């Protein structure tokens, strides 16, 4: 007897696998990376404050529209991570029309975990299904969830590592059930004066715990994107880590921990300068035979100079778009080891 229910379920999963596979195919392209433009209203307020621009809906729309209309951006950028407002204001569709796949930040930011040394956990699982349903209808093909981990001799705590891994895995599994590719982002914060060894030790623990959780939840690794931080000394350490050192330490941990089934790894810039971010990415791709595509998903490192060039003025739009395009081109080359 044919089991109609099981047949339908199988079709349903197959359809979603096709959808997930085609999104991965569109995003994981050698020489291209992602643009992280998913600043929440308060975060974009900080960026605007640095160029003396008021944080109004009109200014946010003007800036995000500038990004979306940048001609030729799709030569170097395959996907863009957006904040919900960009979907609601129809900016996501401009990116789509420009050949760039839109994705949605679905976490709801950070909250302090009680009984820790001011460590933060990420909110947003409760209404995740609703968010995925809503933004999928508005064109989102992938999603992002970011956890943060503070580096010090006493942090991250066991509770933050365990609950963070669990939440990322639950998020990733739920995304895949909607045919949405999850970006899994465990960010080891650069803040602090720690050396590169401590960053390496903690990154290895965190990544290990994340992949164990992904395995336990049966997340399909070939349909995720990993967005890690690079292994570096803290921003207040006396000497910045060299690109060679960052590349060697980061590659070592990724090779130890990340299964080859993961198709794409896109780093965050996390407070490194644009130059450091590109140089470190280049060093990781020089003479390297990595099993995954190693590329970028930068926010600040791609937008910093573009924001300055724009400075909130209509007459600067073309100049700002040229700057963004050039930053994207440079990082595209860096992802090829050039």
Smallest separation, CB 301 to ligand 13P (Å): 5
Nearer to ligand 13P, 60 or 300 (CB): 300
3-state secondary structure of 114: coil
User: Does residue 270 belong to the site contacting ligand 13P (CB under 6 A)?
Assistant: yes
Q: Restricting to residues 105-164, which ones interact with ligand 13P according to CB under 6 A?
A: 146
User: Does residue 268 belong to the site contacting ligand 13P (CB under 6 A)?
Assistant: yes
**Cα gap 246→288, rounded to integer Å:** 14
Smallest separation, CB 272 to ligand 13P (Å): 8
CB-based closest residue to ligand 13P: 299
| 121 φ/ψ angles, rounded to the nearest 5 degrees | -115, 165
Is 227 an annotated catalytic residue? yes
Residue 335: name the closest of 290, 281, 289 by CA: 281
| 145 φ/ψ angles, rounded to the nearest 5 degrees | -135, 125
**Axis-axis angle for helices 4-27, 158-177 (nearest 10):** 110
Is 25 an annotated catalytic residue? no
Interface residue with ligand 13P, options 298, 309, 310, 331 (CB under 6 A) = 298
User: Does residue 300 belong to the site contacting ligand 13P (CB under 6 A)?
Assistant: yes
Q: In the stretch 170-209, what mask flags binding to ligand 13P with x, by CB under 6 A? A: ---------------x------------------------
Count of residues in contact with ligand 13P, rule CB under 6 A = 11
Smallest separation, CB 201 to ligand 13P (Å): 21
User: Does residue 301 belong to the site contacting ligand 13P (CB under 6 A)?
Assistant: yes
Nearer to ligand 13P, 19 or 268 (CB): 268
Q: Restricting to residues 29-68, which ones interact with ligand 13P according to CB under 6 A?
A: 36, 38
Kindly report the three-state secondary structure assignment for every residue of 25-43. HHHCCCCCEEEEECCCHHH
On whether the CB atoms of residues 7 and 269 are closer than 8 A, the answer is: no
The structure tokens listed for 253 are 């941990």
Please state, as a whole number, how many other Cβ atoms lie within 10 Å of the Cβ of residue 182. Answer: 30
CB crowding 110-144: b at 16 or more within 10 Å, else e: eeebeebeebbbbebbeebeebbebbbebbbbbbb
User: Does residue 269 belong to the site contacting ligand 13P (CB under 6 A)?
Assistant: yes
Catalytically active residues, by annotation = 185, 227
Residues of the shown chain interacting with ligand 13P in the complex, contacts defined by CB under 6 A? 36, 38, 146, 185, 268-270, 298-301
């Amino acid at each position: 007897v044919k089991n109609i229910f099981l047949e339908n379920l199988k079709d349903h999963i197959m359809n979603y696998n096709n959808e997930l596979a085609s999104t991965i195919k569109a995003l994981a392209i050698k020489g291209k990376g992602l643009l992280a433009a998913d600043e929440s209203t308060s975060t974009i307020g900080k960026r605007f404050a640095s160029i003396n621009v008021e944080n109004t809906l009109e200014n946010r729309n003007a800036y995000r529209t500038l990004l979306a209309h940048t001609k030729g951006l799709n030569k170097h950028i395959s996907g863009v991570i957006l904040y919900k407002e960009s979907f609601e204001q129809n900016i996501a569709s401009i990116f789509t029309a420009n050949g760039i796949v839109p994705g949605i930040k679905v976490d709801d930011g950070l909250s302090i975990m009680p009984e820790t040394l001011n460590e933060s956990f990420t909110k947003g699982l409760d209404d995740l299904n609703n968010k995925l349903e809503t933004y999928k209808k508005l064109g989102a093909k992938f999603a992002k969830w970011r956890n943060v981990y503070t580096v010090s001799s006493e942090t991250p705590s066991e509770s933050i590592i365990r609950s963070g891994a669990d939440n990322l895995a639950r998020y990733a599994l739920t995304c895949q059930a909607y045919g949405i590719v999850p970006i899994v982002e465990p960010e080891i914060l650069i803040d602090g004066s720690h050396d590169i060894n401590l960053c390496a030790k903690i990154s290895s623990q965190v990544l290990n715990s994340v992949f164990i959780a992904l395995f336990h939840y049966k997340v399909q690794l070939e349909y995720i994107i990993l967005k890690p931080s690079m292994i570096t000394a803290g921003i207040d350490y006396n000497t910045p880590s060299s690109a060679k050192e960052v590349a060697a330490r980061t590659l070592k941990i990724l090779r130890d921990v990340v299964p080859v089934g993961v198709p794409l790894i896109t780093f965050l810039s996390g407070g490194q300068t644009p130059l450091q971010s590109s140089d470190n990415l280049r060093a990781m791709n020089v003479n390297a035979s990595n099993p995954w595509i190693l590329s970028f998903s930068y926010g600040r490192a791609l937008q910093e100079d573009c924001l300055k060039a724009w400075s909130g003025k209509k007459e600067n739009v073309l100049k700002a778009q040229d700057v963004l395009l050039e930053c994207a081109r440079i990082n595209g080359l860096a992802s090829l080891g050039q």
